[in-house]
Amino acid sequence: MDLSVEGKAYINGSFEQCCIGVENGKISSIKKVLKGDVHLNFGYKLILPAGIDLHVHFRDPGMINKEDFATGSMAAAFGGITCFFDMPNTIPQTTDINSLSDKIMTASKKSFVDFGVYAGITDNNINNIETIAKKCNGFKIYLGSTTNTLMFNKQNLKETLIKISSTNKPVLFHAEDDACLNKYKTIEKNLVDHLNSRPAICEETAIKNILETSKGVNAKVHICHLSSCEGLELLKNRSKNITCGVTPHHCLISAGRNLNPQTHFKVNPPLRTIFDKETLFNVLRNGFIDVLESDHAPHTLDEKDAEFNDAPSGIPGVETIYPMFLYLVKQEKLSFQCLVSLLCEKPAEILNAHKGKIKVGNDADFIVVDLKKECKISSEKLHSKCGWSPFNGWPALFPDAVFVRGEKVIENNEIQVSQGFGKFIGE
C-alpha cells in the first residue's frame, strides 16, 4: 500500500475515525487501522471528498490574459477543487475534434488538477455529435447570448437532444431565451438595470422550452446557474434525467445599488432579488438543487472597471466555492451531507467521474479541513490571474491539505506538484 491517511473521514454520510488506504492513485481500503509505505495522521481534522466544479471558464485558449489552465487549476486546487470541467466558449470555440484535442493537450501540459472539457453545440456541428462525443465529457448549448456565445437555433433542439441521448454524455444549458433577451435589451447603468434587461421571464421561457422538447428523449440534461423563482417553479416536478445547478453568487447575493464596484457583480444570468436569492438558498439546503457550481468566469480589473454598460459579465469563484460553503456548514446554515452531495457526489455522477466519494475504487481525491481555521477571503491571496473576487472579505474555511489521486497537491498553503500533474478525465 502506497499511502495511508488517518483522520475523521466522511464515509457514507457520516464521520468516522479511520484510515484510508491508497494504491496507484485509488482508494484501496478503508479500515480502523492501516499502515501504508507512507502514513499521514491528521488526528481529529476532517477528511472530506475533494470538490468537483462542473462549470468553469478558464479562458484557455484565446483569452489567457484573463486566466489560463495553469492559474485556473491552481486556484481550484487551493480551494479544494481537484477536478474541473471547462466550457467551450473560448477562442477558438471548442466545437470539433481538432479544437477539443488542442484544448485537452494544452490543459494536460498546464493543469495542476484533473479536468474535463465540454463541446459546444452550434447549428453547424449537429450532424457531428456522435463523433465529437468520443472526445468530450459533455455538451453545452447556449439558448441566449453571453460572453463569446456559440449561437444555437432552438428550432434544432429536439433533433440535437435525440442525437446527444445516444452518446450517454450530459448536455448542459445556459437557459436564457435569446429572443426574450433582445426584447428587453437596454442601456445599463447599474445592476438593477442589468437585472431588468435580463428578466426572469427569459430564464423561464428557456427552461420551459427545454422541458417540453426533452419529453420522451432520454438525454441527461443539466440546467446551469438557475437564478430565479420562476425557473425554480418549472423544475419542481422535473424527471430524473434533468438536473439543475446554482452558483454561490445567485444564492448568496442579490442585485442592489449597495454593491461596489457595481461592475464586479455583473454576471449572466444577473443577480436577482432578495426573494430569489433566499429562495434559492433554502431549496439548495433542502436538497432540491442537484449541484453547486462556480461558473468561474474571470475578467481583468481593467475590463471590469469600465463603464457599466461596456463592462463584461462574469465573476471568478472556483477557489472560494468550497471554503465559503464549508464556513456555512460550520455555522449550521446547511449540512455536511448536503454540501458533499452538491459539490462532490452529484457532479461525479452526472459526469461519470470516479471521484466525489471516499469509497474503495474511487480516485483518492480528498481534502483535510481544520474547522478552527476560519479566515477572511482576501483577493490578494487568491490564485486566479484576474486578481479580484466579489467575495473579498467573506468568511471561509480553506483546506489545510488537498490530495489528487493520493498525491498531496496542497500543503502549508503551497503547491506541491508541477504543471501537467492534472489528467484528462475520460481516456
Of 425 and 426, the one with more pLDDT: 425
Structural contact between residues 148 and 197, judged by C-beta atoms closer than 8 angstroms: no
Listing DSSP states for 316-385 in one string gives: --TTTHHHHHHHHHHTTSS-HHHHHIIIIIHHHHHHT-S-SS--TTSB--EEEE-TT--EE--GGG---T
- Give the torsion sign (CA, 223, 225, 230, 232): positive
Residue 425 lies in a domain: no
| Calpha distance 64→279 (Å, rounded) | 36
pLDDT at 427 over 90: no
List the catalytic residue out of 53, 295, 363, 365.
295
Q: Tell me, what's the pLDDT at 145? A: 73
Give the residue-averaged pLDDT of 99-121. 98
Question: How far apart are the C-alpha atoms of 292 and 247, rounded to whole Å?
Answer: 6
Per DSSP bridges, beta strands 407-411 and 38-49 are unpaired
Question: Percentage of the chain with pLDDT > 70?
Answer: 99
Q: Quick check: is 239 in a domain?
A: yes
3-class DSSP state of 288: coil
Q: Which domain holds residue 108?
A: 51-351
Helix (H) or strand (E) holding 280: helix 274-285
CA 343/CA 322 separation, integer angstroms:
8
pLDDT value, residue 187: 96
Q: What is the pLDDT of residues 141-177, one digit of tens each?
A: 999 876 556 778 888 899 999 999 999 999 999 999 9
The pLDDT tens digits for 33-63 are: 999 999 999 999 999 999 999 999 999 999 9
Please give the average per-residue pLDDT across 78-95, as a whole number. 97
Domain edge (last residue) among 330, 351, 372: 351
**By three-state DSSP, how is residue 19 classified?**
strand
> How far is it between the farthest Cα atoms of the chain?
65
Q: Letter for the amino acid at 68?
A: D
Q: Do 311 and 195 lie in a common domain? A: yes
What CATH number did the domain enclosing 152 receive?
3.20.20.140
Specify the pLDDT at position 148: 56
Is the CB of residue 349 less than 8 Å from the CB of residue 379? no
Q: Using one digit for the tens of pLDDT, what is the confidence trace for 222-240?
A: 999 999 999 999 999 999 9
- How far CA 374 is from CA of 222, 351, 370, 393, 414, in Å, comes to 33, 32, 8, 12, 18
Give the separation between CA 361 and CA 25, rounded to whole angstroms: 10
Instruction: Report pTM.
Output: 0.97
Q: Report, as an integer, the average pLDDT of 332-354.
A: 97
* Same domain flag for 155 and 37: no
Domain total for the chain?
A: 2
Give the domain CATH number at 377.
Answer: 2.30.40.10
Kindly give the residue spans of alpha helices, DSSP state H, lying in 111-190: 129-132, 157-165, 178-184
Q: Could you count the other beta carbons within 10 Å of the beta carbon of residue 23?
A: 15
How far, in whole angstroms, is CA 228 from its chain's centroid? 19
Decide if 365 is catalytic: no
pLDDT at 151: 73
On whether residue 423 sits in a domain, the answer given is: no
281 lies in the same domain as 167:
yes
